[in-house]
């Protein structure tokens, strides 16, 4: 009787888990496993079965100079976007959390880039970056400075992509910081004021540590975004010129759907997953210890 | 010769748009005084405290601390500390770091910080908890951390904004005594905001009672209890509150509404109110002299019983000692003229008029004024 009741409860629990488990396995776990398997085989030609090649695909990948270039680009992209967008988000959040006229309007303005679809935003920035008619070069021209080919010059193009990404991301992260700032009781500031604590000192000793959980969350998100975001490359550069702005996921896409090299695409995907997993684990273990959760 | 006041408020006001929170109040606080700002919520007491602290800027008037005009000075330059209702502890810092937070802001040397921390932790009994985070402390311990943070700064003035209202009743009475003891030991000037008249009566050297942004009465707890300046002050101090009975014109003087047989005050008092504290009313058997009344119900509280008694159109509360079951019985009420208070139509105390003496007892020997004498 008792055992039966226990079984019923277990069945009940399993049924509750079923929808999520079904969705996750169909769209996350199963593809991950098949990707790993794909990366270990070479497809057979003319109906021959796929041949198991072990880690050969990985060896080929590591010998591919384009892969290293793309990986380096992605690292630069991450280094360029993550700290900048987080710092900017925090700055904007602090600004609009204070007393200022038209606060709601400023908040909305900061958040607008986030609600724009990436494709639309990239199209807007195309007009900013366009060599002859673009906004930036027009402005520079007005100052008598000759323009830059923002997206065509291999030495500038990645930077241009980074700037646009920061513009797009910062507003999104700001919302998290703003929510966290509003959860900090105002008495803390008053208590610090009574002791003559300077604004800057209060920020580093109280506000910033109390925002640490948010920073950690935003950091992980920013990292995932740095590897995940490809849509703006379709519009802005298509990875060019000469792979100067090619990023890992876009390279995966190219391999899979332009070069029809599914195996290589699967191999790169597995590498990306591994790197992300390692970095996320490191962040959580190291930063979590220093983070105060309320 | 009076000392130089430590805190002086001159016609201080605070407005937010059209609403006035504090309206033209003035008072002086002497060094070492424990002053209570008392009043119901929304009376402006917290705003007054925050203006002294500098957390709100006064809309008008002047605030002096010592010799200095601090009206426009930032809070950190006023030389005072404050204990907040929510304690305002930094949740990510240990107890020790919370306590020395202000010393670090003021760049006090590390060695001195440690010395002062040890001393203060001892004083508030927190030595064993210095490494804990606030979340790992009980309410009372958090309260002590907040106190320690105020004490360690060694400012002569400490402001407290309802510091005990988040504690349970038992802890509250312990902390009342502790705060009072600390204050007299360290000879601090304390301005203490509360809406709890028990805290005001038991802790204050002086109580400033506020209502709607004005000061109603400013005096010792004794004065507030025995000579309330208005019907509001009378009803705010004491538990249960003073009975306030409307007076109407009778044949030989003012009488309680609905009870025309016994005059209780001179003619001129009619239209105003008569106030008698529940503990000052004597309950007598119906056969004796006094104001005829009827017991409606009684509330047994342990040490005493509160009887609700109908007199005329009104109900009075009478405090009787011990347990007494009196419901439904007719009786007589009696009080001495000096324990009754008269208030005019505006609720202000009438100094010129004295309540009338009630008809004395048939017995020539006056009975002891002990409460609850009904059972003899």
Closest CA to A193 of B47, B84, B133: B84
Q: Rounded CA gap, B320 and B372, in Å? A: 4
Which domain CATH number covers B161?
3.40.50.300
In a domain, B198, yes or no: yes
For residue B364, what pLDDT is reported?
45
Same domain, A28 and A124: no
Q: Which of A57-61, B30-34, B208-212, B355-359 has the lowest mean pLDDT?
A: B355-359
Residue B76 has pLDDT above 60, yes or no: yes
CA distance B205 to A53: 90
Within 8 A of B84 by CB-CB distance, chain A residues are 187, 190-191
* Residue A200, min C-alpha distance to chain B (Å): 11
| B21-64 pLDDT, tens digit each | 999 999 999 999 999 999 998 899 999 999 999 999 999 999 99
Co-location of B209 and B354 in the same domain: no
DSSP state of B169: H
Strand, helix or coil for residue B297: strand
On whether both B151 and B297 belong to a single domain, the answer is no
On whether residue B87 sits in a domain, the answer given is yes
3-state SS of chain A: helix, strand, coil percent to 5? 75, 0, 25
Q: Do residues B224 and B207 make contact, with C-beta atoms less than 8 angstroms apart? A: yes
For chain A, how many structural domains are there in total? Answer: 2
pLDDT at residue B157 in the model = 92
Q: Are residues A7 and A67 in the same domain?
A: no
Q: Which of B232, B258, B287 is the last residue of a domain?
A: B232
DSSP annotation of B259 reads B
CATH at residue B254: 2.40.50.140
Query: From CA A275, how far away is CA A281, in angstroms rounded?
Result: 10
| Interface test mutation site (partner A, options B50, B92, B99, max chain A beta carbons within 10 A) | B92
B143 and B192: one domain?
Answer: yes
Contact B349, B228 (CB under 8 A): yes
* Pairing between β-strand B273-276 and β-strand B243-249 as defined by DSSP bridges: antiparallel
Closest CA to B261 of B289, B297, B294, B295: B289
Least confident of A224-228, B53-57, B246-250: A224-228
Q: Are residues B348 and B212 in the same domain?
A: no
Q: What is the pLDDT of residues B311-347, one digit of tens each?
A: 988 999 999 888 877 778 888 888 988 889 999 988 8
pLDDT, tens digit, for every residue of B162-178?
A: 999 888 888 888 889 98
On whether both B37 and B126 belong to a single domain, the answer is yes
* Residues B249 and B226 both lie in one domain: no
Instruction: Look at residue A152 in the predicted model and tell me its pLDDT.
Output: 78
Which domain-ending residue is among B232, B267, B283?
B232
Residue B240 clears pLDDT 90, i.e. is over it: no
Q: Are residues B334 and B190 in the same domain?
A: no
Task: Tell whether the model's pLDDT for residue B375 goes beyond 50.
Answer: no
- For A9-20, letters b (16+ CB in 10 Å) and e give eeeeeeeeeeee
Rg of chain A over all Cα atoms, to the nearest angstrom: 24
Quick one: A126 and A246 in the same domain? yes
Cβ-Cβ pairs closer than 8 A, A with B, add up to: 68
Give the pLDDT of residue A136: 82
Residue A46 in domain: no
| A18 shares its domain with A85 | no
Contact B329, B294 (CB under 8 A): yes
Q: Do B105 and A195 touch (CB under 8 A)?
A: yes
Asked whether B24 and B12 are in contact (CB, 8 A), the reply is: yes
What is the four-CA torsion angle of B224, B228, B234, B237, rounded to 10 degrees? 0
Domain coverage including residue A4: 1-38
- pLDDT reported for residue B361: 56
Q: Do A194 and B92 touch (CB under 8 A)?
A: no
Are residues B94 and B202 part of one domain?
yes
**B98 and B130 within one domain:** yes
Of all residues in chain A, the one with the smallest CA distance to B161 is A187
**Domain co-membership, A19 together with A146:** no
| Number of domains within chain B | 2
pLDDT at site A294: 58
Q: Check which CATH number belongs to the domain holding A67 and give it.
A: 1.10.3720.10
d(CA A54, CA A41) in angstroms, rounded, equals 7
* Stretch (H or E) spanning A102: none
Asked if A74 and A193 sit in the same domain, the reply is yes
Q: Answer yes or no: do A27 and A60 share one domain.
A: no
Say what the ipTM of the complex is: 0.80
Beta bridge partners of B16: B19
Which of B53, B104, B133 comes nearest A194 by C-beta?
Answer: B53
Taking the CA of residue B202 and the nearest CA in chain A, the distance in Å comes to 27
Within this chain, do residues A27 and A148 fall inside the same structural domain, yes or no? no
Question: What is the pTM for the complete model shown?
Answer: 0.79
B79: number of Cβ within 10 Å = 17
pLDDT tens digit sequence for A81-112: 999 999 999 999 998 888 888 888 888 888 88
- Cα nearest neighbour of B92 on chain A: A292
Is position B1 within any domain?
Answer: no
Any domain includes B346: yes
Give the residue numbers spanning the domain of B129.
7-232
Residues A23 and A144 in one domain: no
Any idea which of A248-252, A266-270, A284-288, B370-374 has the lowest mean pLDDT? B370-374
| A19 and A160 co-located in one domain | no
Residue from the list B81, B91, B92 with its beta carbon closest to the beta carbon of A194: B81
Q: CB distance from A210 to chain B under 8 Å?
A: yes
Which chain A residues are within 8 Å of B74, Cβ to Cβ?
193, 196
C-alpha distances out from residue B142 to B51, B131, B242, Å: 25, 13, 36
Residue B2 lies in a domain: no
> Reduced to 3 states, what is the DSSP secondary structure of residue B8?
strand
Q: Choose one of B232, B249, B266: the last residue of a domain.
A: B232
């Amino acid at each position: 009787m008792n055992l039966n009741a226990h079984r019923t409860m277990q069945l009940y629990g399993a049924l509750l888990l079923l929808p999520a488990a079904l969705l996750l396995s169909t769209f996350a776990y199963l593809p991950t496993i098949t990707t790993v398997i794909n990366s270990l085989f070479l497809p057979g030609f003319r109906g021959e079965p796929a041949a198991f090649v072990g880690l050969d695909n990985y060896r080929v990948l590591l010998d591919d100079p384009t892969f290293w270039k793309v990986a380096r680009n992605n690292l630069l992209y991450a280094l360029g976007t993550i700290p900048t967008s987080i710092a900017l988000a925090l700055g904007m959040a602090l600004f609009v959390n204070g007393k200022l006229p038209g606060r709601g309007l400023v908040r909305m303005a900061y958040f607008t880039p986030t609600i724009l679809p990436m494709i639309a935003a990239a199209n807007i920035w195309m007009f900013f970056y366009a060599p002859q008619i673009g906004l930036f070069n027009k402005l520079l021209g007005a100052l008598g400075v000759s323009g830059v080919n923002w997206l065509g010059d291999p030495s500038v193009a990645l930077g241009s992509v980074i700037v646009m990404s920061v513009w797009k991301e910062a507003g999104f992260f700001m919302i998290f910081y703003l929510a966290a700032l509003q959860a900090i009781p105002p008495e803390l500031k008053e208590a610090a004021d009574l002791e003559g604590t300077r604004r800057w000192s209060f920020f580093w000793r109280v506000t910033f540590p109390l925002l640490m959980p948010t920073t950690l969350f935003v950091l992980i998100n920013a990292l995932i975004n740095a590897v995940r975001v490809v849509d703006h490359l379709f519009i802005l550069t298509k990875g060019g010129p000469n792979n100067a702005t090619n990023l890992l996921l876009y390279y995966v896409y190219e391999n899979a759907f332009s070069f029809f090299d599914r195996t290589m695409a699967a191999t790169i995907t597995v590498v990306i997953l591994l790197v992300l997993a390692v970095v996320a684990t490191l962040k959580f273990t190291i930063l979590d210890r220093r983070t105060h959760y309320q | 010769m009076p000392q130089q006041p430590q805190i002086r408020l001159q016609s201080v006001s605070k407005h937010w748009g059209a609403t006035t929170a504090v309206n033209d109040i003035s008072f002086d606080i002497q060094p070492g005084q424990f002053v209570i700002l008392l009043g119901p919520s929304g009376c402006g007491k917290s705003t007054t405290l925050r203006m002294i602290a500098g957390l709100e800027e006064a809309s008008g008037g002047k605030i002096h601390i010592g010799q200095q005009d601090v009206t426009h000075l930032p809070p950190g330059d006023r030389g005072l500390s404050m204990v907040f209702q929510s304690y305002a502890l930094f949740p990510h810092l240990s107890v020790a770091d919370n306590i020395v937070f202000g010393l670090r802001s003021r760049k006090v040397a590390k060695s001195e910080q440690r010395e002062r921390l040890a001393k203060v932790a001892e004083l508030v009994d927190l030595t064993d908890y210095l490494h804990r985070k606030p979340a790992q402390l009980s309410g009372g311990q958090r309260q002590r951390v907040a106190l320690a943070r105020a004490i360690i700064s060694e400012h002569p003035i400490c402001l407290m904004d309802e510091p005990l209202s988040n504690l349970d009743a038992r802890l509250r009475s312990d902390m009342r005594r502790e705060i009072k003891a600390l204050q007299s030991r360290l000879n601090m000037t304390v301005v203490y905001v509360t809406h709890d008249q028990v805290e005001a009566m038991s802790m204050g050297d002086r109580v400033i009672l506020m209502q709607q942004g004005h000061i109603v009465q400013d005096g010792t707890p004794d004065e507030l209890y025995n000579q309330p300046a208005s019907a509001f002050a009378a009803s705010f101090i004491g538990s249960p509150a003073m009975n306030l009975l409307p007076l109407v014109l009778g044949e030989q003087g003012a009488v309680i509404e609905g009870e025309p047989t016994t005059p209780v005050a001179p003619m001129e008092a009619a239209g105003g109110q008569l106030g008698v504290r529940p503990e000052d009313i004597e309950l007598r058997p119906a056969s004796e002299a006094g104001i005829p009344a009827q017991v409606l119900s009684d509330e047994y509280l342990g040490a005493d019983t509160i009887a609700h008694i109908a007199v005329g159109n009104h109900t009075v509360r009478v405090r009787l000692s011990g347990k007494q079951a009196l419901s439904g019985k007719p009786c007589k009420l009696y009080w001495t003229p000096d324990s009754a208070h008269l208030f005019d139509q505006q609720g202000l105390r009438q100094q010129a008029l004295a309540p009338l003496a009630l008809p004395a007892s048939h017995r020539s020997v006056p009975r002891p004024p002990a409460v609850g004498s009904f059972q003899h």
